[in-house]
Amino acid sequence: MQRCLMLAGKQPAYPVSNNNGPSTSNSAAPSSLEGVIVPSSQPLPPEERDLAIRIFDEITLHFERSQETDSGYKPITLIRLMKHEVSETDEFLSFFFSFTGQDLLDEEDGGIGLDRILLHLAGFSNWSTEEQGTLSESLVTFAKYLVDNFFLPLKALAAKTPQPTPASSRSKLHELAIGTPQRVSNLRKDCLRRDRHRCVISRKFYAQEAQNRYKRDGRDVKDDDGKSLLPERDIMAYLEVAHIMPHSLRSITSGGSEGRLLFGNFEIAFEPVDSQPHTYRINYIDSDRMGRVEKLPVTVSLFITPNRDVEPPSPELLRIHGAIGRILHLSAAGEYIDEFIRDLEEMESGEVMQNGTTRLDDYVRFRVSYS
């Protein structure tokens, strides 16, 4: 019997890093990336915004063509896509320039304002090789900050939405994930009712619910729309909740399924269909992938409860989820993170490579920050 997907998530639950990035006295790099995702109430002045966009585009165009990929992913590509795909532009530009500017300017009594950083960077194309090298290193450091403090913990947890099980009900770690076991159970019931006990992607009916109804109603068993379930008895699925974004990065959660694993790994995206509310075309991020455990693309309209007492999945969160998937795929950061997580699992099982390639420093840093 196949396992399938339900979606949960209305309010944004954005990942927050525990590690403060570098800061200046006047324009500090934030200790979380929430402002980069959530639109800010502090837009840049139009002229400063236009200049920041122009310089950002010139910098990424210049360095992306010759970027080093020793880190295992494409750092400049990741930065460029982050700005174009996900981020509220003004917040991201402020964050980007305040971060990179610190490596290039000496901090004085008045601090380093964005205007001064932009003025300095405007002539980067005429800099010496050494100066451009320093800027390039700063870009790589910024990309690593995004990976370590956002993408890595996000991807590590997004595929692990907790399910209501006896084991989870005894674990305080699961309670930290999205709330109490009772809340998880109630959320699951609400999602099942809203989605009419069917998988979001395949529309297969929930096998356990069908069995319960069969015991009660016999061969008169029906789905939520009053149609007989007997013709579907060989094509049902077990359903699991998938949060669009994890509630907390400081948690350990459990569960697994094919559809939810694809969604949690940011390997599929929900693209809205124009002029049709809550209707999406679901497809693989990498349309040319080999392993296609779900037959995609498909177009689905998400169910709405009659009195809207259970809200449908947030269109904005689904948009952000798809954008993150594209960033991870096109920058190769997704593969890098997958390999990192596999290394962590091997180290936790006691396997350390004899040739010294085990990433012990990365492992310790990750566990200290997010456990």
Residue scoring higher pLDDT (112 or 226) = 226
pLDDT band at 172 (very low <50, low <70, confident <90, very high): very low
How buried is residue 220: exposed, middle or buried, by Cβ count under 10 Å (0-12/13-18/19+)? exposed
SS3 content of the chain, % helix, strand, coil (to 5): 50, 10, 40
pLDDT band at 244 (very low <50, low <70, confident <90, very high): confident
Identify the H or E element spanning 299: strand 298-301
Q: 203 in the Ramachandran plot: left (φ > 0), alpha (ψ -120 to 50) or beta?
A: left
Considering only CA atoms, which of 10, 55, 89 is closest in space to residue 315? 10
Domain boundaries, given as residue ranges, for the chain: 3-9+179-370, 46-146
Identify the sign of the CA torsion 323, 315, 95, 368. negative
pLDDT in tens, 153-165: 888 876 555 555 4
Residues 6+ apart with CB under 8 A from 135: 59, 63, 100, 103, 104, 121, 124, 127
**Roughly how many angstroms between the first and final C-alpha of the chain, as a whole number?**
34
Overall average pLDDT of the 160-175 stretch: 44
Per DSSP, 198 falls in state B
pLDDT in tens, 194-228: 999 999 888 999 999 999 999 999 999 999 999 99
